[in-house]
Amino acid sequence: MAKFEKGKSGNPNGRPKGSRNEKTTYIRDWLVSLIGSNSKRLQDNFARLPLKEQFRVITQVLPYVLPKQTEAKISADVDLSTLTDEQLDIVIGNLIEEMKSDNGTE
Protein backbone atom coordinates (compact mmCIF):
# COMPACT_ATOMS: atom_id res chain seq x y z
CA MET A 1 0.00 0.00 0.00
CA ALA A 2 1.41 3.39 -1.06
CA LYS A 3 2.05 6.10 1.49
CA PHE A 4 0.70 8.85 -0.78
CA GLU A 5 -1.69 8.94 -3.69
CA LYS A 6 -0.04 8.64 -7.08
CA GLY A 7 1.20 12.04 -8.25
CA LYS A 8 0.77 13.67 -4.83
CA SER A 9 3.47 14.44 -2.31
CA GLY A 10 3.42 14.59 1.46
CA ASN A 11 4.81 18.12 1.02
CA PRO A 12 2.89 19.73 -1.85
CA ASN A 13 4.82 22.99 -1.57
CA GLY A 14 8.17 21.19 -1.79
CA ARG A 15 11.45 22.35 -0.33
CA PRO A 16 11.73 26.14 -0.02
CA LYS A 17 13.59 27.72 -2.94
CA GLY A 18 17.30 28.11 -2.25
CA SER A 19 17.36 25.71 0.69
CA ARG A 20 19.89 22.88 0.63
CA ASN A 21 19.41 19.31 1.63
CA GLU A 22 21.56 17.82 4.39
CA LYS A 23 23.95 16.02 2.03
CA THR A 24 24.60 19.18 0.01
CA THR A 25 25.31 21.13 3.20
CA TYR A 26 27.62 18.38 4.50
CA ILE A 27 29.57 18.18 1.23
CA ARG A 28 29.86 21.96 0.98
CA ASP A 29 31.15 22.23 4.57
CA TRP A 30 33.61 19.38 3.95
CA LEU A 31 34.97 21.04 0.79
CA VAL A 32 35.35 24.40 2.54
CA SER A 33 37.27 22.68 5.34
CA LEU A 34 39.42 20.71 2.88
CA ILE A 35 40.32 23.81 0.87
CA GLY A 36 40.88 25.91 3.97
CA SER A 37 43.22 23.41 5.59
CA ASN A 38 45.22 23.03 2.36
CA SER A 39 45.14 26.61 1.11
CA LYS A 40 48.93 27.14 1.19
CA ARG A 41 49.61 23.95 -0.77
CA LEU A 42 46.85 24.81 -3.26
CA GLN A 43 48.32 28.30 -3.75
CA ASP A 44 51.80 26.87 -4.30
CA ASN A 45 50.53 24.30 -6.80
CA PHE A 46 48.48 26.96 -8.59
CA ALA A 47 51.54 29.22 -8.88
CA ARG A 48 53.46 26.36 -10.53
CA LEU A 49 50.85 25.89 -13.25
CA PRO A 50 51.51 27.40 -16.67
CA LEU A 51 49.65 30.68 -17.20
CA LYS A 52 47.21 29.04 -19.64
CA GLU A 53 46.26 26.46 -17.01
CA GLN A 54 45.90 29.13 -14.31
CA PHE A 55 43.47 30.95 -16.58
CA ARG A 56 41.53 27.71 -17.20
CA VAL A 57 41.25 27.02 -13.45
CA ILE A 58 40.04 30.56 -12.75
CA THR A 59 37.41 30.47 -15.51
CA GLN A 60 36.12 27.12 -14.25
CA VAL A 61 35.86 28.31 -10.63
CA LEU A 62 34.34 31.76 -11.25
CA PRO A 63 30.76 30.57 -11.86
CA TYR A 64 30.78 29.06 -8.36
CA VAL A 65 32.10 32.24 -6.74
CA LEU A 66 30.44 35.15 -8.53
CA PRO A 67 26.68 35.59 -8.71
CA LYS A 68 25.14 34.94 -12.09
CA GLN A 69 24.59 38.16 -13.98
CA THR A 70 21.05 38.76 -15.15
CA GLU A 71 19.50 41.23 -17.51
CA ALA A 72 17.51 43.94 -15.78
CA LYS A 73 14.40 45.14 -17.56
CA ILE A 74 12.89 48.36 -16.32
CA SER A 75 9.69 49.92 -17.50
CA ALA A 76 8.46 53.36 -16.47
CA ASP A 77 6.21 56.05 -17.86
CA VAL A 78 8.48 58.97 -17.02
CA ASP A 79 9.67 61.71 -19.33
CA LEU A 80 13.28 61.90 -18.19
CA SER A 81 13.83 65.11 -20.13
CA THR A 82 11.66 66.96 -17.60
CA LEU A 83 13.82 65.97 -14.62
CA THR A 84 16.60 68.10 -13.20
CA ASP A 85 20.15 66.74 -12.93
CA GLU A 86 19.64 66.28 -9.19
CA GLN A 87 16.43 64.32 -9.75
CA LEU A 88 18.15 62.12 -12.37
CA ASP A 89 21.00 61.46 -9.91
CA ILE A 90 18.45 60.31 -7.31
CA VAL A 91 16.67 58.04 -9.81
CA ILE A 92 19.97 56.52 -10.97
CA GLY A 93 21.15 56.03 -7.37
CA ASN A 94 17.89 54.28 -6.47
CA LEU A 95 18.16 51.98 -9.50
CA ILE A 96 21.75 51.07 -8.63
CA GLU A 97 20.79 50.27 -5.03
CA GLU A 98 17.86 48.15 -6.20
CA MET A 99 20.06 46.22 -8.63
CA LYS A 100 22.63 45.60 -5.87
CA SER A 101 19.99 44.24 -3.51
CA ASP A 102 18.52 42.04 -6.27
CA ASN A 103 21.97 40.55 -6.95
CA GLY A 104 22.81 40.16 -3.27
CA THR A 105 25.91 42.34 -3.54
CA GLU A 106 25.15 44.51 -0.53
Domain containing 58 equals 20-66
Q: Is the pTM of this model over 0.85?
A: no
- Tell me the mean pLDDT in the region 58-81: 80
Q: Confidence class of residue 41 from pLDDT cuts 50, 70 and 90?
A: very high
Residues 49 and 29 occupy one common structural domain? yes
Residue 61 located in a structural domain:
yes
The top-scoring range by mean pLDDT among 11-25, 31-45, 59-73, 77-91 is 31-45
CA angle (79 as vertex; 78, 83 as ends), nearest 5 = 100
User: Domain total for the chain?
Assistant: 2
